[in-house]
Amino acid sequence: MLKGPLKIINFRDRGIRAQLVLINSAFVILLLGLLTAIFLRYAKNELVDNIRKDSITLSAHLARDSVLPLLARDRKRIESYLEGVLGGPEVAYCAVYFSDGELFLKKNREGYEAYGKLLPQMAGERGGLVRELTHGDFPIMEASVPVLLEKMDEGREELGLSDNLFFPAGGKADVIGYTVVGLSAENLIGRYLFVSYQWVFIALALSILGIGAISFVIKRFVRPLVDLSKVASHVAGGELNVQIDVKSGGEVGALAGAFKHMIDSIKESINQIKERAREIEDLAEGAMEGIFFLDKDFRIIRENQEMARILKYERDELIGQSITMIAAADSADKLSEILDSGQSTMVEINLVAKNGIIIPFEVNFTPVTSGSSLGVLCFARDITEKKKMIDSLTKSKREISAIFDGITDYIWAVDLDCTVVRANKMFARKVGGKVGEIVGRNCKDIIFIGEDFCSKACPINEYRKKGVIHDAVEYRDKPSGRIYQMRTFPLLSESESLKGGINYLKDVTDTKAIEERLIQAERLAATGRLAANVAHEVNNPLGIIKNYLTLLQRDMSIGDSEIIENVDVINDEISRIAEIIKGLLVFSRPEPRGVTSCNINKTINDIVSLVRKNLEKHGIAVVLDFDYSIPDIKVSSGHLKQIMINLINNSQDAMPDGGDLKIKTSAKNGNIIVQVDDSGVGIKQSDMKELFNPFYTTKGVKGTGLGLSVSYGIIKGYGGDITLNRKKKGGVKARVFLPYGKKKEDANG
């Protein structure tokens, strides 16, 4: 901005003249001081270098003189040599060492007792060493030189010192010791100070002459520059309507013309800046985001239309308000910390609109300076919709995670290196850890369905070998005997390339058992239907044969005793066939007949009473363990007896040499459980799946193969179940489950 009327300025100010004299004088003094320092440094280095050379020379001469005395261990001669060396004006200490580093003799001046030690690495070395030490403000040059015994010819030794102080000619020599000499620069201080005083006096004289010459030149030639300096101060104060009155030619005149052109350019630039400012203000007003500016006290001094609209204020109604006053309570303290920090940052804060509604904003705070004043430029974006979207996504993520963790099967995701990247809680619980502990571990280190699963059936390895992921794999875990079914679904990247797999593992042991039972039931049903047809077809002819045998027996005379006996045998065998056919009919139609309320314990006790003597005759001890609190059950006592007799007979046949038979009753989960344990020879694993099949027997010609299958059909007719299990120490445990209607677990269970 142009201030005041046009001014004609004539300058008489001498400030710049004095400044130039001062600056040039300082430069002259600095230059001369630098030269003095360089010279003094050079002089000092020369003195130190001389000391270094002297220390090397003295140590080398001492080494040459000490060869014979050192070989002869002549302390007196060595001591005289050391005293001679110590007589030098700069020598602080000297010493002689053996080749293994052991001190032979040492001499030193007062105050230098701690010096003259042989460095450990010198022992055995053929080369010399010069090092610089410090004693107070003065350096010490210490030279260590080996004492060499030179070998001239093979088998002949000769003393000598070659031109090389540290190595003999040809390199044939033995190190028999070392000499150490330390020279101090303390005695050379006088020479150094004298040279210093001379140079300081010369530098001072040159400085005075230089300053006088500079003052004369400045007084004559710098006057026009002083005038231009005054003009520059007015221009800096904003007074652009000034006239430059500099009557000088040459470079100064050109400078004045350039300065006038600069003032004109400044005027034009100011006009352009004003135009740009109007453009920026138009852009701010048209912005889709809120923009506002804070002063150093964090009061709003400017805001655009969009900011006022979002907060429901009229234009300029926010001017003068502190930003902390319109911030929500949860953002006020955070906002104060951000503003006080003076750092550029982007944060989420909540501002309160005029109507009291809290609106979330994402605000970019940028500190700016304008002259000496400080402010904060703020860009604010309304993120209400963004927050709603984030909340919705977060809720969906929680729901998906809840579903994922709520699945009772085992699910985990792996990358191509089989590293676990995600797992549900069921899987983590199964492998004995937490989800956070499992993620990042390799699948083979935590899989629980067998050590060789990963090497034989890993879907990721299958993909690497064949380029496909197999559909499903079933695997039996040997330690637990459980059967698992595993499916792997490909985990694809955005480019549709495989980046891992999602493993779904399900325990199908119970499902497999149900499937096997369904197959068994279907097999038994088919066999039952066949047996019913066979029984009907065979029963009628047998009845006719039996009737004719009865008539034949009646018509026979007593004298036909042999024929009568044979007919009786035929009649008995036909009766046995009839019983088998009766069993087939029961197997095919196991519906309860004559169902009454039956006491399980009493019925079993009656059966055992009938067979106990026969069992004891075969060396079988019977133990009864009844739960007398179990309720009565509606079942045919005849069916129950048939079941128990079949189980007891099977146990007796399995214990030809005697053993123990234990029958136990209990109630659990709405079932009466009858358990029959024997200590017999047991059942082969290969026979377990065939036991309930009709006509399957392990007793040879002695058995019909219908006992267990008929019992199975009877029990299923009552909605129950029967299981047979091999015992680890031999024998079989048979368990019969008969429902009595109570669903919750019995107190005795």
Last residue of a domain, one of 342, 366, 382: 382
Provide the domain limits for residue 666: 591-749
List, for residues 120-161, the tens digit of each pLDDT value. Answer: 666 556 667 888 887 776 778 888 888 888 765 555 544 444
Identify whether 613 is part of a domain: yes
Identify whether 567 is part of a domain: no
DSSP 107-135: EE-TT-TT--PPPGGGTT--S-EEEEEEE
Same domain as 376, residue 342 = yes
Q: Residue 289 is encoded by which pair of tokens?
A: 């985001």
* Amino acid in the structure at residue 147: V
Q: How many CB atoms lie within 10 A of CB 317?
A: 14
List, for residues 403-457, the tens digit of each pLDDT value. Answer: 877 887 888 888 877 888 888 888 888 777 788 888 888 877 777 555 566 666 6
Report the half-sphere exposure of 237 (CA within 13 A, side-chain side). 10
Return all residues near 336 (Cβ < 8 A) that are at least 6 apart: 324
pTM of the model: 0.38
Same domain as 473, residue 338 = no
Q: What is the pLDDT of residue 1?
A: 37
List, for residues 617-674, the tens digit of each pLDDT value. Answer: 888 888 899 999 899 888 877 788 888 888 888 888 888 888 888 999 999 888 899 9
Identify whether 674 is part of a domain: yes
Strand partners for 543: none
Report the half-sphere exposure of 678 (CA within 13 A, side-chain side). 24
Rounded to an integer, the average pLDDT of 39-52 is: 76
Identify whether 257 is part of a domain: no
pLDDT at 4 over 50: no
List, for residues 321-341, the tens digit of each pLDDT value. Answer: 888 888 887 777 777 777 777
Rounded to an integer, the average pLDDT of 73-88 is: 86
Sheet of 300-303: strand order equals: 300-303, 290-294, 373-382, 358-370, 345-352
How far apart CA 529 and CA 118 sit, in angstroms, is: 113
Identify whether 231 is part of a domain: no
Q: What is the pLDDT of residue 257?
A: 73
Distance of CA 741 to the CA centre of its chain: 55
Q: What is the pLDDT of residue 449?
A: 58
Scored b (16 or more CB within 10 A) or e, 416-446 reads: eebebebbbbbbbebbeeebeebbeeebeeb
Which helix (H) or strand (E) covers residue 21, if one does?
helix 15-65
How far apart CA 518 and CA 723 sit, in angstroms, is: 14
pLDDT at 572 over 70: yes
Question: Do residues 493 and 485 lie in contact, with contact meaning Cβ atoms separated by under 8 Å?
Answer: no
Proportion of the chain above pLDDT 90, given as a percent: 2
Lowest mean pLDDT among 192-196, 570-574, 714-718: 192-196
Same domain as 372, residue 431 = no
Last residue of a domain, one of 507, 535, 570: 507
Identify whether 459 is part of a domain: yes
Q: What is the pLDDT of residue 151?
A: 66
Q: Counting Cβ atoms within 10 Å, is residue 653 exposed (0-12), middle (13-18) or buried (19+)?
A: middle
Question: Do residues 132 and 44 lie in contact, with contact meaning Cβ atoms separated by under 8 Å?
Answer: no
Identify whether 265 is part of a domain: no
pLDDT at 402 over 50: yes
Q: Residue 176 is encoded by which pair of tokens?
A: 């028999």
Higher pLDDT, 285 or 661: 661
How far apart CA 598 and CA 630 sit, in angstroms, is: 11
pLDDT band for 45, please (50, 70, 90 cuts): confident
Same domain as 172, residue 52 = yes
List, for residues 482-526, the tens digit of each pLDDT value. Answer: 888 777 777 777 787 778 888 888 888 877 777 666 655 555 555
Same domain as 459, residue 356 = no
Lowest mean pLDDT among 167-176, 267-276, 340-349: 167-176
List, for residues 5-29, the tens digit of each pLDDT value. Answer: 444 444 344 555 666 667 777 777 7
Q: What is the pLDDT of residue 58?
A: 85
Same domain as 469, residue 352 = no
Same domain as 331, residue 312 = yes
pLDDT, the chain, mean: 75
List, for residues 370-386, the tens digit of each pLDDT value. Answer: 655 678 888 888 888 88
Same domain as 349, residue 426 = no
Same domain as 608, residue 500 = no
Identify whether 645 is part of a domain: yes
Q: What is the pLDDT of residue 665?
A: 92
pLDDT at 600 over 80: yes
pLDDT band for 695, please (50, 70, 90 cuts): low
Q: What is the pLDDT of residue 737?
A: 92
Question: Do residues 613 and 653 lie in contact, with contact meaning Cβ atoms separated by under 8 Å?
Answer: no
* Amino acid in the structure at residue 399: E
Number of domains within the chain: 4
pLDDT at 557 over 50: yes
Q: How many CB atoms lie within 10 A of CB 528?
A: 22
3-state per-residue secondary structure call for 395-419: HHHHHHHHHHHHCCCEEEEEECCCE
How far apart CA 289 and CA 300 sit, in angstroms, is: 16
Last residue of a domain, one of 347, 382, 417: 382
Proportion of the chain above pLDDT 70, given as a percent: 72
Same domain as 745, residue 600 = yes
List, for residues 203-214, the tens digit of each pLDDT value. Answer: 777 777 777 777
Q: In which region does residue 475 sit, left (phi positive, over 0), alpha (psi from -120 to 50) or beta (all else)?
A: beta
Same domain as 431, residue 361 = no
Rounded to an integer, the average pLDDT of 531-554 is: 72
Identify the CATH number of the domain in which residue 315 sits: 3.30.450.20
Same domain as 422, residue 495 = yes
List, for residues 678-688, the tens digit of each pLDDT value. Answer: 888 777 776 66
